[in-house]
Chains A and B, each alone.
Chain A
């Protein structure tokens, strides 16, 4: 956190000065470790084993916050008798289909609901379209009435299922898998549990590298399970905090730049699953389900009204027919492979530098070199705009500048100081930013670019009667313009997002005012209220010293300006604060409403004693003690009966590339991970495959404080470049001795994809670990360098292949295996020969397929 988020880290320092204990777990000793009380080195890719060990510690010592767990989680729900665990099936859950490598999830359901789960056909499609990301936020179909055992004694209740699942994740196993000495691991368990409960809460903070694994979603879920068991959700000082990697990345999923989502986490329609408007709506609201998604039609219709205004009518399903449809995986990695295959002709890149910043840099560059046209908008001339004349493939002859057919259009972009607008950061808070100066030269804002691009396209299409143009011609495309540059008004856009009554024009103050009859418009239902009372609430700037610690008059947080989500859980089932110290939101019996420091995340006047009538659905089905109001059953999920492609409970799988055989299960790696089996996307062999020893070391990559991601914004600046001027690789003294590496000498790293070179930093900050009886070395690289800028160097992401998490299609880019050798890498065509030599030794010959299902009895005799 201190490395990548130094400004946010000031709050950790402040908490530390007030007596908080800071624990840091990381494969290498970083600037964060330097300031932590306790640092634990851990093997990259073994986090579920570590956190599963914490779950086991909590459950076997009964350290859970029992009243909270019984009231607010699904611990008491009874799971179907058909469910079989990884502990029974050697690493697979019940329902696995080796043909599609996905699960039929019906056996994972609660008892009596087996028909509700997703069949494997659906599961397969869901992986293609990353619908796990949607499910994560609005919960899959779960009927409200589920058999329960509040005593938690039933062997099939979630609590007991969870307990059995993690029973083997003992401190000994944690030490064996993660390399963490037991006493240090127990120190973490004791600190975490001792600091949770009625009187205290603990925050779990992670940076988004944690998500970049073939089991990334399950990493986060394990953290969430711990926080739920300890009662750390919905309460002040608790939570699971994702530190996002750039400014407004939270905003770019709220109003998404993702292929599978629409604003407010509404799913992008699928051509087959959602042919009809009602099919799409029902897929979001799940008619018989409880919770606030039941009003999804209001949100969806308001969104379509904001797109098409008067042209969106009840008769034409509010323009649903004009919406683009998903046909499969259109994720960024599929797109790049499609470019290589010539299926994609044109591409827009905005503020993104995939030639350096995305996994498998060579595939990125070769893909972009095979387009007709490419538009790059950035602050500086980045590698993704110059790969055709300056990339590493020029030297190897894979790209010939004279023959590269891609026409690149470079558009200079305005920086954040040159435009006004909002940032939505990790805490879901929108903060309005004023423009400081006019952009220089031809630089323009994104808003300017897209408004005027849309305007010109619509002018070109004017008068067209072709059905495919109707959606574009009918768009509402009128914003107030100002200045010589004709910059559209950002506040106008924010008002459109907020939503308004289409007859009166009155801005909505809450998403509860949205209607499903077309009488309201709103561009992102969760942002409704940001322009409440005609005031830009995101621009509020009342200093913290002039208000209480929740600081509700600074900026605006979605939804409905709530600073802590699910804060009904900060009170006990009867609505009383769990403790005076952790008082936050509670039921005021006299007033007959929820009150407190924050906006209650609950219907304001629904008493704690409210119980839904039989057969109730939607918001009415939410009971007075159902704190997790967006979940189909109102409960925090320790066990996910459906919605996740890879299983209802996190399970330790080895990374797709690992140096060790999974010590816990026959199943080596995530059996549902998304793989692209191609000759240009080879995966290093891992046990039980042979030849894993060709790539004997574990590597991880991350950022340095001094640079920003792919370096586009930092390697161009002398003041930052001088602080970290060269690509380097960090190794322990032990590994240096083993491979003959010399401090500040050269070394090169090799995987099945590439070989890159770097200067060697021998440092005590890295240490070998003992994993399953063997000593495992890890090395680490920053990924900031490329071929442009004041300081250049090889790019660490070139080493990484494309293997994705099945739920959200994020790449496994934080752990892999490689070799490291002293000296510089070969140059020119010899480089290709050199890497091919490794492939040959690793048995990655044509026709080779990475085994997905790996039962123990199929292990090679030699392994």
Chain B
């Protein structure tokens, strides 16, 4: 083990003892071209025979996977982001600029609505937000008239409709929406340079491959679950039925045969790019530069920096907003980063205790 193995930049495969290791392989996931088709999720499950994750409508935009789990090794996140300006740094009007807000139609509509909604025999009865009959009674039966454009919006401001909130805390904007972004990102195990899961695995089920990736051997895993708390991204997870830990292998079996991972192969827009990590990092830097030139000022890389808390990710991303917006930790670090300091502190504490004890005994003698 090298002197720096616990923290900071290094090439993990040689560090793990491989001689003549092939170049480190990884993913560059460019979310600026992701179309949210989820082909990666399906290709991953098909190739790796991962079980389905249950049929649950989650209501979080088009994401019904929810997150990376033992049964979902790729996860496409969908973030619906209303914005009060186009944010593109241009004078292009936003997607919804100039559109009306507030209640629709016409009083006559609401009369019908109120009558029809009386009793369906099945609903616990969610009352219409507008007292339609009353509104109609005051407004008459006008049908083709012009609806007042400035009528107070029942949707404006405080009324909560149960939609998921995607804004950062403290970033909620009261202004009417004029623009909108739908961000999509295919998330995956980061295959960290310093992998917390691997470091804490007591059985050796988790190991570093010659490609620099991190893989669980399911026949060795004893299901202790230490790896789960050690992952700074919350990726690795235990399967409920067998208790063992599962996660992306970066298709170790395919790599051995000279194939690219199933998800990258299936991705139609090359949002998921597979290759030598050093080359991917250069490519990613150029892509960010291009996007900045094209006015996409918010483009930034995540997990590409070898000096970050995990020594850089083997799978890194181009994002269009803060990592938290995508559910990613802003400043992940491997627990082992602090091991030296912790031991030093523990040692210091022990020394202090010992010294105190010595002092105490010494003091009693006096």
Seen from chain A, the residues whose Cβ lies within 8 Å of a Cβ on chain B are 2, 6-7, 9-10, 13, 17, 29, 31-35, 37-39, 41, 179, 181, 183-184, 187, 659-661, 687, 692-694, 696, 704-706, 718-726, 728, 732-746, 748, 750, 759, 761-765, 767-770, 773-777, 790-791, 819, 821-827, 830, 834, 837-838, 841, 862-863
On chain B, which size bracket covers the interface? 35 or more
User: CA–CA, A742 to B184, complex, Å?
Assistant: 24
Residues of A contacting B143 in the complex (Cβ-Cβ under 8 angstroms): 692-693, 862-863
**In the complex where A34-B35, A737-B161 touch, is A775 in contact with B123 (Cβ < 8 A)?**
no
User: CA–CA, A759 to B57, complex, Å?
Assistant: 9
Inter-chain contact A821/B121, CB cutoff 8 Å: no
In the complex, B124 has a CB within 8 A of chain A: yes
Residues of B contacting A739 in the complex (Cβ-Cβ under 8 angstroms): 113, 117, 128-129
**In the complex where A9-B269, A34-B36, A738-B154 touch, is A764 in contact with B177 (Cβ < 8 A)?**
yes
In the assembled complex, the CB of B299 is this many whole angstroms from the nearest CB of chain A, namely: 13
User: CA–CA, A791 to B122, complex, Å?
Assistant: 22
Q: Mark B142-165, 1 if CB is under 8 A from A, else 0.
A: 011111010001110001011110
- The 4 A-B residue pairs whose C-beta atoms are closest, nearest first, are A823-B123, A743-B162, A181-B98, A725-B55
In the assembled complex, the CB of A800 is this many whole angstroms from the nearest CB of chain B, namely: 20
In the complex, B102 has a CB within 8 A of chain A: yes
In the complex, B181 has a CB within 8 A of chain A: yes
Interface residues of B in 226-282 (CB under 8 A from A): 268-270
In the complex, B210 has a CB within 8 A of chain A: no
In the complex, B224 has a CB within 8 A of chain A: no
Inter-chain contact A34/B126, CB cutoff 8 Å: no
Q: Which A residue's beta carbon lies closest to that of B269? A: A13
User: CA–CA, A692 to B141, complex, Å?
Assistant: 13
User: CA–CA, A694 to B143, complex, Å?
Assistant: 11
In the assembled complex, the CB of A11 is this many whole angstroms from the nearest CB of chain B, namely: 9
**Residue from B38, B105, B146 within 8 A of A696 (CB atoms):** B105
In the assembled complex, the CB of B159 is this many whole angstroms from the nearest CB of chain A, namely: 6
Inter-chain contact A34/B182, CB cutoff 8 Å: yes
Residues of B contacting A768 in the complex (Cβ-Cβ under 8 angstroms): 99-102, 104
**Residue from A9, A659, A722 within 8 A of B35 (CB atoms):** A9
In the assembled complex, the CB of A759 is this many whole angstroms from the nearest CB of chain B, namely: 6
User: CA–CA, A744 to B164, complex, Å?
Assistant: 11
In the complex, B125 has a CB within 8 A of chain A: yes
Residues of A contacting B147 in the complex (Cβ-Cβ under 8 angstroms): 773-775
In the assembled complex, the CB of A774 is this many whole angstroms from the nearest CB of chain B, namely: 5
- Can you spell out 29 A-B residue pairs with CB atoms less than 8 angstroms apart? A13-B270, A29-B180, A692-B143, A693-B143, A696-B106, A705-B38, A718-B51, A723-B38, A723-B41, A728-B57, A733-B155, A735-B104, A736-B155, A737-B154, A737-B155, A739-B128, A744-B59, A750-B116, A759-B57, A762-B162, A764-B82, A764-B96, A768-B101, A773-B145, A774-B144, A774-B145, A822-B117, A826-B121, A863-B143
Residues of B contacting A743 in the complex (Cβ-Cβ under 8 angstroms): 59, 161-164
Inter-chain contact A769/B100, CB cutoff 8 Å: yes
**In the complex where A694-B112, A719-B45 touch, is A770 in contact with B100 (Cβ < 8 A)?**
yes
Inter-chain contact B105/A775, CB cutoff 8 Å: yes
Inter-chain contact B55/A827, CB cutoff 8 Å: no
Inter-chain contact A746/B123, CB cutoff 8 Å: yes
Given contacts A733-B163, A841-B115, 15 further A-B contacts (CB under 8 A): A13-B35, A34-B182, A181-B98, A693-B111, A696-B105, A696-B106, A718-B52, A733-B155, A737-B154, A738-B128, A740-B126, A762-B163, A821-B113, A823-B120, A841-B116
Inter-chain contact B106/A693, CB cutoff 8 Å: yes
Residues of A contacting B113 in the complex (Cβ-Cβ under 8 angstroms): 696, 738-739, 819, 821
Inter-chain contact A770/B99, CB cutoff 8 Å: yes
**In the complex where A687-B144, A745-B126 touch, is A834 in contact with B120 (Cβ < 8 A)?**
yes
Residues of A contacting B164 in the complex (Cβ-Cβ under 8 angstroms): 743
**In the complex where A737-B155, A776-B105, A823-B120 touch, is A745 in contact with B162 (Cβ < 8 A)?**
yes
Inter-chain contact B104/A738, CB cutoff 8 Å: yes
Q: Which A residue's beta carbon lies closest to that of B115? A: A841
Inter-chain contact A744/B57, CB cutoff 8 Å: yes
Inter-chain contact A737/B95, CB cutoff 8 Å: no
User: CA–CA, A692 to B93, complex, Å?
Assistant: 34
Seen from chain B, the residues whose Cβ lies within 8 Å of a Cβ on chain A are 33, 35-39, 41-42, 45-46, 51-57, 59, 61-62, 64-65, 80, 82, 92-93, 95-106, 108-113, 115-117, 120-130, 141, 143-147, 149, 153-155, 159, 161-164, 177, 180-184, 268-270
User: CA–CA, A834 to B116, complex, Å?
Assistant: 9
Inter-chain contact B97/A6, CB cutoff 8 Å: no
User: CA–CA, A687 to B121, complex, Å?
Assistant: 31
Residues of A contacting B145 in the complex (Cβ-Cβ under 8 angstroms): 773-774
Residues of B contacting A721 in the complex (Cβ-Cβ under 8 angstroms): 52, 55
Inter-chain contact A764/B180, CB cutoff 8 Å: yes
Inter-chain contact A724/B103, CB cutoff 8 Å: no
User: CA–CA, A694 to B105, complex, Å?
Assistant: 12
User: CA–CA, A7 to B182, complex, Å?
Assistant: 19
User: CA–CA, A826 to B61, complex, Å?
Assistant: 28
Residues of A contacting B56 in the complex (Cβ-Cβ under 8 angstroms): 722, 725
Q: Which A residue's beta carbon lies closest to that of B184? A: A34
Q: Which B residue's beta carbon lies closest to that of A705? A: B37
In the assembled complex, the CB of B102 is this many whole angstroms from the nearest CB of chain A, namely: 6
Residues of A contacting B115 in the complex (Cβ-Cβ under 8 angstroms): 841
Q: Which B residue's beta carbon lies closest to that of A823? A: B123
In the assembled complex, the CB of A822 is this many whole angstroms from the nearest CB of chain B, namely: 4
Inter-chain contact B126/A183, CB cutoff 8 Å: no
User: CA–CA, A776 to B117, complex, Å?
Assistant: 20
In the assembled complex, the CB of A205 is this many whole angstroms from the nearest CB of chain B, namely: 15
Q: Which B residue's beta carbon lies closest to that of A734? A: B155
Inter-chain contact B57/A774, CB cutoff 8 Å: no
Residues of A contacting B96 in the complex (Cβ-Cβ under 8 angstroms): 41, 764, 767
Q: Which B residue's beta carbon lies closest to that of A40? A: B95
Q: Which A residue's beta carbon lies closest to that of B51? A: A718
Inter-chain contact B52/A776, CB cutoff 8 Å: no
User: CA–CA, A468 to B180, complex, Å?
Assistant: 64
Inter-chain contact A719/B46, CB cutoff 8 Å: yes
Residues of B contacting A9 in the complex (Cβ-Cβ under 8 angstroms): 35, 268-269
User: CA–CA, A827 to B106, complex, Å?
Assistant: 30
Residues of A contacting B141 in the complex (Cβ-Cβ under 8 angstroms): 862
Inter-chain contact A33/B116, CB cutoff 8 Å: no
Residues of A contacting B100 in the complex (Cβ-Cβ under 8 angstroms): 768-770, 775
Residues of B contacting A184 in the complex (Cβ-Cβ under 8 angstroms): 93, 97-98
In the assembled complex, the CB of A716 is this many whole angstroms from the nearest CB of chain B, namely: 12
Inter-chain contact B116/A819, CB cutoff 8 Å: yes
Q: Which B residue's beta carbon lies closest to that of A776? A: B104
User: CA–CA, A830 to B41, complex, Å?
Assistant: 42
In the assembled complex, the CB of B224 is this many whole angstroms from the nearest CB of chain A, namely: 28
Residues of B contacting A791 in the complex (Cβ-Cβ under 8 angstroms): 55
Residues of B contacting A826 in the complex (Cβ-Cβ under 8 angstroms): 120-122
Q: Which B residue's beta carbon lies closest to that of A661? A: B144
In the assembled complex, the CB of A799 is this many whole angstroms from the nearest CB of chain B, namely: 15
Inter-chain contact B122/A823, CB cutoff 8 Å: yes
**Residue from A181, A764, A837 within 8 A of B80 (CB atoms):** A764
**Residue from B108, B121, B161 within 8 A of A736 (CB atoms):** B161
Taking each of B35, B41, B100, B111, which has the highest tally of chain A beta carbons within 10 Å of its own beta carbon? Answer: B35
Inter-chain contact B64/A41, CB cutoff 8 Å: no
